[in-house]
C-alpha cells in the first residue's frame, strides 16, 4: 500500500521504517527541514537501537523515502499516519495544536479519499474534533470536499526497543468509524499479523484513543504502587525486590513494571497520566487515583535526596555525580528525565553536580549548561562525595565497584534503580543505599 507518515520523530520514523519493512511504499514527512536533511543524507537524528540499519535497508530498497512537501507525501497515499508530538501544557492537558495543524494542512492538499490515522497519543474525542476541523477547512477553502476518514491506531512501542516492539507487538489496536478505514487498516497490518500472529483489537475511535491512555496510566500506577511499597519496606527493614518477586509470581499480577526506584520519566508516562486525569476532569469524573500516582512519582526524587542528606548532611558545597541523563537505558531522550530532575534539585540545594551518560551527553550539556558532563563513569566520579544511579545503563550495572570506590572522595552510592548487587557493593567498600531495601545504618 502507499502510506505517508507525518512527523518522523521517535514514533514516526520507527513506524515508517517498519511499515516499509512490511512491504508498503512509505513516504516520511517532517516540517523540521534539518531532520529531513539528516535522513536524506543517511543519518538518524536520535539514538535508537537497530533503527539506523533498518532505515538504511528500506531507503536503499526504495521502500521508504523522505520529503518536506506535504503535497508529494499525500499524492498517492491511501493511509496517512499522524505521528506529531502532543507535549504537555502547563494545565495538564496535551497540546494538540500540532495535530490540529496536520488536519488543516491535509484538508487543504488532499484530492482523494484516504484514511488519516492518529498514531500520536491523544485523548478521547480527538478523532471527532479532527473530523470536524477537516470538514470545516475543506468547506471554508472551497477545496474539493473529499472523504477523509479519521481513525485511531495508538502506539505502544518503548524507546530503546522501538523497532523490536513495532515488529513484535503484544497487540494491534485500531478504532475506525467506517468500513473504508477499517479495511485499509486491516490491509496495512495484514503482513504483520501474518508474520507474528499478533492479536488485533478492532473498535471505535474513542475506545482506541482511551485504550492508550488507560494502558499508560495503568503501567505508571504499577510503578507508583511498588514505589509506595518500597517506602514502607524502607521503614520496616523489608526488601522490596523480594516483595516484588513474590508478588509477580502470582499469575494475576505478573512481574512486569514492579521495579522500585527513582520513578518513571520520559515523554509518555508523566504526560499521559496528566492528560488522562485532565480528560477525566473535563468530562466530570474525579480520577484521584491518578493524582496520587503522579504525586508518588515526583516524591521518589525526595526519597533519594533524603538518603543523600542522611549521609552527607548538607548537600550545599558537596560534589554529587548523577549516573544517567537519559530517562532510561537505550535512548538519548531527556524528556522528563528523573536524572535531570534530580540534578536540578541538587543544584537548587547548592551541590556541585556532574552527570555521566554514555549516549546523551550532548543533550545533557544543552539542558544543564553549568554542569560538567562525562562519558566515562569513573572520570565523572573522581573526587565526588557521592554517586546517585538514575539510569540503569549496562555500563553502570557492570562498573568495577572497586575502581569506583577508589575514585570517590566518600564512597557513598544511592542506587535509584536498585540495579546493583547490595552485597557486592558493600563488599567493594561502598556505603550503598537502594530504594526499599532496608534502612540506613
Ligand atoms: P517527537 O517529538 O520525537 O516527534 C514528533 C515529530 O513531529 C517531530 O519530528 C516534529 O518535527 C514533527 N512535526 C510536528 N508538527 C508537524 C507537522 N505539522 N508536520 C510535519 N511534522 C511535524 O515525538 P514522539 O516521541 O515521536 O511522539 C509522537 C507522538 O507519539 C506523541 O503523541 C507521543 O505521546 C506518542 N508516543 C510516543 C512514544 C515514545 O516512546 N516516544 C510511544 C508511544 C506514543
Domain boundary among 156, 182, 203: 203
Annotated binding-site residue? 328: yes
**Residue 56 included in any domain:** yes
Distances (CA, A) of 112 to 62, 145, 261, 291: 24, 9, 51, 44
189 and 292: one domain? no
Distance CA(131)–CA(150), nearest Å, equals: 6
CA atoms within 13 A on the CB side of 120: 30
199 and 241: one domain? no
Which of ligand 1's atoms lies nearest the C-alpha of 121? Answer: 32
The residues that bridge with 2 in the sheet, in sequence order, are 25
Which residue is listed with cell 544517567? 324
How much is the pLDDT for 440?
46
98 Cβ closer than 6 Å to some ligand 1 atom: yes
Largest CA distance in the chain: 75
152 Cβ closer than 6 Å to some ligand 1 atom: no
294 Cβ closer than 6 Å to some ligand 1 atom: no
Rounded average pLDDT per 10-residue block, the chain, 441 residues: 98 98 98 97 96 98 98 97 97 96 95 97 97 93 82 97 98 98 98 98 98 98 98 96 98 98 97 97 97 98 98 98 97 97 98 98 97 98 98 98 98 98 97 86 44
| Cβ 378 vs Cβ 361: under 8 Å | no
170 and 269: one domain? no
DSSP annotation of 271: H
319 and 409: one domain? yes
How much is the pLDDT for 441?
44
**Residue 86 included in any domain:** yes
Distance CA(243)–CA(247), nearest Å, equals: 6
Q: How far is CA 85 from the centre of its chain?
A: 12
29 and 152: one domain? yes
What CATH number corresponds to the domain at position 117? 3.40.50.720
**Residue 158 included in any domain:** yes
How much is the pLDDT for 438?
79
| Cβ 412 vs Cβ 431: under 8 Å | yes
Domain boundary among 147, 177, 203: 203
257 and 131: one domain? no
Distances (CA, A) of 354 to 256, 259, 334, 385: 32, 25, 16, 11
89: phi then psi, degrees, rounded to nearest 5? -95, 160
291 and 424: one domain? yes
Distance CA(26)–CA(426), nearest Å, equals: 54
How much is the pLDDT for 382?
98
**Residue 211 included in any domain:** no
Domain boundary among 203, 229, 252: 203
157 Cβ closer than 6 Å to some ligand 1 atom: yes
38: phi then psi, degrees, rounded to nearest 5? -60, -45
203: phi then psi, degrees, rounded to nearest 5? -150, -165
22 and 150: one domain? yes
268 and 151: one domain? no
**Residue 172 included in any domain:** yes
287 and 339: one domain? yes
398 and 341: one domain? yes
**Residue 329 included in any domain:** yes
| Cβ 209 vs Cβ 217: under 8 Å | no
**Residue 230 included in any domain:** no
Domain count, the chain: 2
Distance CA(38)–CA(42), nearest Å, equals: 7
The answer to whether residue 268 is catalytic is: yes
How much is the pLDDT for 146?
75
End-to-end CA distance of the chain: 64
Domain that holds residue 6: 2-203
Q: Give the Cβ contact number of residue 423 at 10 Å.
A: 9
Mutate to test the pocket of ligand 1, among 4, 5, 6, 7 (most ligand atoms within 8 A of CB): 7
**Residue 124 included in any domain:** yes
Q: Which of 93, 96, 174, 104 is nearest to 132 (CA)?
A: 104
284 and 192: one domain? no
What 3-state class would DSSP assign to 261? coil
Which residue is listed with cell 469524573? 285
Amino acid at each position: 500500500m502507499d502510506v505517508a507518515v507525518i512527523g518522523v520523530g521517535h514514533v514516526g520514523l520507527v513506524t515508517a521504517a517498519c511499515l516499509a519493512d512490511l512491504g508498503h511504499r512509505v513516504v516520511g514527512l517532517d516540517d523540521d527541514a534539518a531532520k529531513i536533511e539528516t535522513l536524506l543524507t543517511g543519518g538518524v537524528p536520535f539514538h535508537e537501537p537497530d533503527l539506523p540499519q533498518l532505515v538504511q535497508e528500506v531507503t536503499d530498497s526504495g521502500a521508504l523515502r523522505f520529503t518536506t512537501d506535504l503535497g508529494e507525501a499525500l499524492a498517492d497515499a491511501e493511509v496517512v499516519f499522524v505521528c506529531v508530538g502532543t507535549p504537555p501544557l502547563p494545565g495538564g492537558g496535551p497540546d494538540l495544536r500540532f495535530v490540529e495543524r496536520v488536519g488543516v494542512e491535509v484538508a487543504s492538499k488532499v484530492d482523494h479519499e484516504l484514511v488519516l490515522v492518529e498514531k500520536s497519543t491523544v485523548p478521547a474525542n480527538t478523532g471527532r474534533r479532527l473530523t470536524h476541523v477537516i470538514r470545516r477547512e475543506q468547506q471554508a477553502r472551497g477545496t474539493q470536499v473529499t472523504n477523509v476518514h479519521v481513525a485511531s491506531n495508538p502506539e505502544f512501542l518503548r524507546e530503546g526497543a522501538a523497532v523490536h516492539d513495532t515488529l513484535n507487538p503484544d497487540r494491534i489496536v485500531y478504532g475506525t468509524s467506517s468500513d473504508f478505514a477499517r479495511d485499509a487498516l486491516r490491509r496495512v497490518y495484514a503482513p504483520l499479523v501474518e508474520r507474528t500472529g499478533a492479536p488485533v483489537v478492532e473498535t471505535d475511535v474513542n475506545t482506541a484513543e482511551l485504550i492508550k491512555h488507560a494502558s499508560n496510566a495503568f503501567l505508571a500506577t504499577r510503578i507508583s504502587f511498588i514505589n509506595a511499597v518500597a517506602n514502607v519496606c524502607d521503614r520496616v527493614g523489608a526488601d522490596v525486590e523480594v516483595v516484588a518477586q513474590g508478588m509477580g509470581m502470582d499469575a494475576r499480577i505478573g512481574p512486569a513494571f514492579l521495579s522500585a526506584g527513582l520513578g518513571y520519566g520520559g515523554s509518555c508516562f508523566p504526560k499521559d497520566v496528566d492528560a488522562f486525569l485532565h480528560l477525566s476532569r473535563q468530562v466530570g469524573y474525579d480520577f484521584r487515583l491518578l493524582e496520587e500516582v503522579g504525586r508518588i512519582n515526583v516524591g521518589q526524587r525526595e526519597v533519594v535526596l533524603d538518603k543523600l542528606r542522611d549521609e552527607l548532611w548538607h548537600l550545599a558545597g558537596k560534589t554529587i555525580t548523577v549516573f544517567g541523563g537519559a530517562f532510561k537505558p537505550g535512548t538519548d531522550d531527556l524528556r522528563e528525565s528523573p536524572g535531570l530532575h534530580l540534578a536540578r534539585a541538587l543544584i537548587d540545594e547548592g551541590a556541585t553536580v556532574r552527570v555521566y551518560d554514555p549516549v546523551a551527553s550532548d543533550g545533557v550539556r544543552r539542558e544543564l549548561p553549568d554542569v560538567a558532563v562525562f562519558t566515562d563513569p569513573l572520570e565523572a566520579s573522581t573526587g565526588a562525595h557521592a554517586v546517585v544511579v538514575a539510569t540503569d545503563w549496562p555500563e553502570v550495572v557492570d562498573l568495577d565497584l572497586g575502581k569506583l570506590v577508589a575514585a570517590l572522595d566518600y564512597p557513598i552510592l544511592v542506587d535509584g534503580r536498585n540495579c546493583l548487587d547490595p552485597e557486592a557493593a558493600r563488599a567493594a567498600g561502598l556505603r550503598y543505599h537502594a530504594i526499599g531495601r532496608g534502612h540506613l545504618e
